[in-house]
């Protein structure tokens, strides 16, 4: 058994044990349950995607809902759905677009935002909280699930955190640029991101000049965004910084972004295999050529292929898969979609079911989606669309809150701590009961989860497993649900049964606390 498989199995076992303990389920069966057999009973009113289809859709979405599953079937299966999703312009997304105006200040320009911040009208950190909420709302409601998933990936790879200083003025616009290029070509995405004022301000390039070149962006461009650590020298960093001089933001005044030829450092430059005479004071061409060179470099292909495999396959992807993806990336001139298609068609991907865990924000979004909570336009601080940010924070991380330029970790271990598990369980319980948040959100009534009054409890568990986890019940899940509710498998559940009147949240939470829900 590979180390990746062993680690994933251990993580899932730990989640199962931790979830049972946190839900108050005894480690050993009660005397009444001793010797009882827990054989699932099918209630197959809801058609399910195949195991293979469920895996692909789950890995590239924020939770499978009945509507999403129906959409996949309508498109002819997960692979056809995935191809359709790779052309997001073909996907009508009124549901995602309706959130555009929920936080009006996100539409304001940098000067207005700065004046409001400096004048004490509304701090920039509050505007950034609104941006984080808007991103979570889009992930929750958008039909362009693959686009949102890949926007998250690239916004993390080219990280400009939302918590910080003056780059908040351009952070929403930066996210829009990433989304526009997320399924395009990496060389174009890289140029758009590195020369964007948000990145320039964040990594101290906004006032970098020939007289005083700042090396921060030039270094991180090499170390994090492209070829990777150990693939360049300090001399490379210096010339990388010189190439990027001239990209300017009028700090503290108009906040306008422009190119300043008078600030560009001219003279021959060499970074790895890239050379340029760099004679012109207008360095935009040399910048474009340099970034194109880095995007097409084999080390960059290797680095991006590795990160994509870690995010979507497993924490320790096979070298063969990484080499194959890197080769396809270079062959297709840095186009992103051929790499993704090769990834999902790979044997390694098909075998990676359950090997990746949701991070805190993904957990919150998925919980809203599978509980079919109806998120409304926020009208106050306690509105669910605002409160969901604090839900992610209590679990461990808000979107784009990682302060360093290397981005939020993609591995499972980071999100497998006991504290994260307990925080997730508390959030699941609060939402399953409809107890928090309660403003501007609608939850399904308890009896709506029982499709037929008088049905057996084991059938109800199977029905809920199909609704929340998009897979049939198992003996382990049935046993956990029986012990969590102190009910027998054959007990009849009517719409006025005590379970429905008082304890449905406990039952729903048991499913949400299962390893199958934590897995992407």
Is there a cis peptide before residue 437, judged by omega within 30 degrees of 0?
yes
Task: Please state, in angstroms and rounded to a whole number, the distance separating the CA atoms of residues 446 and 503.
Answer: 9
Task: Say what the pLDDT of residue 165 is.
Answer: 84
Mean pLDDT calculated for residue range 187-193: 98
Give the CA angle between residues 264, 234, 192 to the nearest 5°: 50
Examine the pLDDT at 183 and tell me if it is beyond 70: yes
Task: Please state, in angstroms and rounded to a whole number, the distance separating the CA atoms of residues 179 and 183.
Answer: 8
Mean pLDDT calculated for residue range 2-16: 45
Q: Contact at 8 Å (CB) between 153 and 175?
A: no
Examine the pLDDT at 398 and tell me if it is beyond 70: yes
pLDDT by residue (tens digit) across 66-99? 999 999 999 999 999 999 999 999 999 999 999 9
Q: Contact at 8 Å (CB) between 405 and 158?
A: no
Mean pLDDT calculated for residue range 388-417: 96
CB atoms within 10 A of CB 334: 22
How buried is residue 501: exposed, middle or buried, by Cβ count under 10 Å (0-12/13-18/19+)?
Answer: exposed
Please list, in sequence order, all residues whose beta carbon lies within 8 angstroms of the beta carbon of residue 165, skipping any fewer than 6 positions away. Answer: 201
Please list, in sequence order, all residues whose beta carbon lies within 8 angstroms of the beta carbon of residue 215, skipping any fewer than 6 positions away. Answer: 237, 238, 240, 241
CB atoms within 10 A of CB 63: 25
When comparing pLDDT for 44 and 486, which is higher? 486
Tokens of 490: 């054959």
Is there a cis peptide before residue 264, judged by omega within 30 degrees of 0?
no
Task: Say what the pLDDT of residue 34 is.
Answer: 47
Provide the CA 50 distance to its chain's centre, in angstroms.
24
Mean pLDDT calculated for residue range 288-294: 98
Examine the pLDDT at 20 and tell me if it is beyond 60: no
pTM listed for this prediction: 0.94
- Mean pLDDT across the chain, nearest whole number? 93
Task: Say what the pLDDT of residue 164 is.
Answer: 81
DSSP class of residue 502 equals I
Task: Please state, in angstroms and rounded to a whole number, the distance separating the CA atoms of residues 372 and 151.
Answer: 23
Examine the pLDDT at 19 and tell me if it is beyond 50: no
Q: Which of 162-166, 175-179, 260-264, 334-338 has the lowest mean pLDDT?
A: 162-166
Q: How confident is the model at residue 45 (pLDDT cuts 50, 70, 90)?
A: confident
Q: Contact at 8 Å (CB) between 197 and 175?
A: no
* Residue that is written with structure tokens 């990433």 in the block: 178
Task: Please state, in angstroms and rounded to a whole number, the distance separating the CA atoms of residues 133 and 102.
Answer: 10
Q: Contact at 8 Å (CB) between 181 and 217?
A: no
pLDDT by residue (tens digit) across 159-182? 999 988 899 999 999 999 999 999
Q: Kind of pairing, strands 247-249 and 257-259?
A: antiparallel
Examine the pLDDT at 476 and tell me if it is beyond 70: yes
Mean pLDDT calculated for residue range 177-188: 98
Q: Contact at 8 Å (CB) between 323 and 294?
A: no
End-to-end CA, the chain: 21
Task: Please state, in angstroms and rounded to a whole number, the distance separating the CA atoms of residues 394 and 429.
Answer: 14
Task: Say what the pLDDT of residue 163 is.
Answer: 86
Examine the pLDDT at 196 and tell me if it is beyond 80: yes
Q: Contact at 8 Å (CB) between 102 and 377?
A: yes
How buried is residue 41: exposed, middle or buried, by Cβ count under 10 Å (0-12/13-18/19+)?
Answer: middle
Which of helix, strand or coil describes residue 197? helix
Task: Say what the pLDDT of residue 29 is.
Answer: 42
């Amino acid at each position: 058994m590979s180390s990746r498989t062993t680690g994933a199995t251990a993580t899932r076992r730990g989640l199962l044990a931790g979830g049972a303990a946190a839900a108050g389920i005894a480690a050993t069966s009660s005397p009444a349950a001793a010797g009882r057999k827990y054989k699932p009973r099918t209630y197959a009113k809801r058609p399910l995607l195949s195991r293979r289809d469920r895996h692909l859709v789950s890995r590239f979405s924020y939770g499978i809902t009945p509507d999403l599953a129906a959409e996949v079937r309508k498109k002819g299966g997960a692979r056809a759905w995935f191809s359709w999703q790779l052309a997001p312009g073909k996907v009508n997304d009124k549901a995602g677009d309706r959130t555009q105006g929920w936080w009006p200040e996100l539409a304001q320009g940098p000067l207005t935002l700065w004046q409001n911040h400096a004048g004490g009208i509304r701090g920039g950190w509050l505007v950034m909280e609104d941006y984080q909420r808007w991103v979570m709302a889009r992930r929750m409601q958008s039909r362009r699930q693959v686009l949102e998933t890949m926007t998250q990936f690239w916004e993390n790879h080219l990280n400009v955190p939302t918590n910080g200083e003056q780059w908040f003025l351009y952070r929403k616009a930066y996210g829009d640029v990433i989304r526009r290029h997320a399924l395009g070509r990496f060389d174009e995405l890289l140029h758009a991101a590195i020369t964007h004022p948000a990145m320039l301000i964040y990594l101290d390039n906004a006032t970098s000049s020939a007289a005083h070149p700042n090396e921060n962006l030039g270094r991180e461009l090499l170390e994090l965004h492209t070829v990777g650590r150990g693939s360049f020298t300090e001399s490379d960093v210096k010339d990388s910084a010189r190439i990027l001089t001239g990209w300017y933001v009028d700090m503290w005044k108009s906040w306008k972004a422009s190119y300043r030829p008078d600030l560009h450092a001219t003279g021959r430059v060499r970074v790895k295999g890239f050379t340029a005479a760099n004679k012109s004071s207008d360095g935009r061409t040399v910048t474009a050529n340099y970034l194109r060179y880095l995007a097409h470099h084999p080390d960059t292909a290797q680095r991006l292929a590795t990160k994509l495999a870690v995010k979507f396959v497993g924490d320790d992807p096979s070298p063969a898969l990484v080499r194959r993806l890197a080769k396809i990336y270079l062959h297709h001139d840095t186009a992103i979609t051929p790499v993704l298609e090769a990834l999902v068609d790979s044997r390694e991907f098909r075998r990676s079911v359950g090997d990746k865990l949701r991070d805190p924000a993904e957990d919150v979004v998925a919980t809203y989606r599978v509980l079919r909570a109806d998120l409304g336009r926020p009208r106050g601080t306690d509105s669910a669309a605002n409160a969901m940010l604090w839900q992610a924070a209590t679990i461990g991380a808000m979107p784009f809150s990682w302060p360093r330029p290397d981005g939020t970790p993609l591995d499972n271990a980071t999100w497998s701590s006991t504290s994260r598990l307990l925080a997730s369980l508390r959030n699941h319980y609060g939402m399953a009961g409809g107890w928090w948040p309660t403003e501007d959100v609608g939850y399904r009534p308890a009896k709506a989860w029982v499709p037929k009054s008088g049905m057996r409890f084991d059938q109800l568990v199977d029905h809920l497993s199909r609704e929340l986890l998009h897979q049939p019940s198992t003996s382990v899940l049935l046993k956990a649900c029986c012990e969590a509710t102190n009910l027998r498998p054959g007990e009849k559940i009517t719409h006025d049964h005590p379970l429905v009147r008082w304890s449905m949240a406990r039952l729903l939470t048991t499913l949400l606390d299962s390893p199958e829900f934590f897995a992407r």
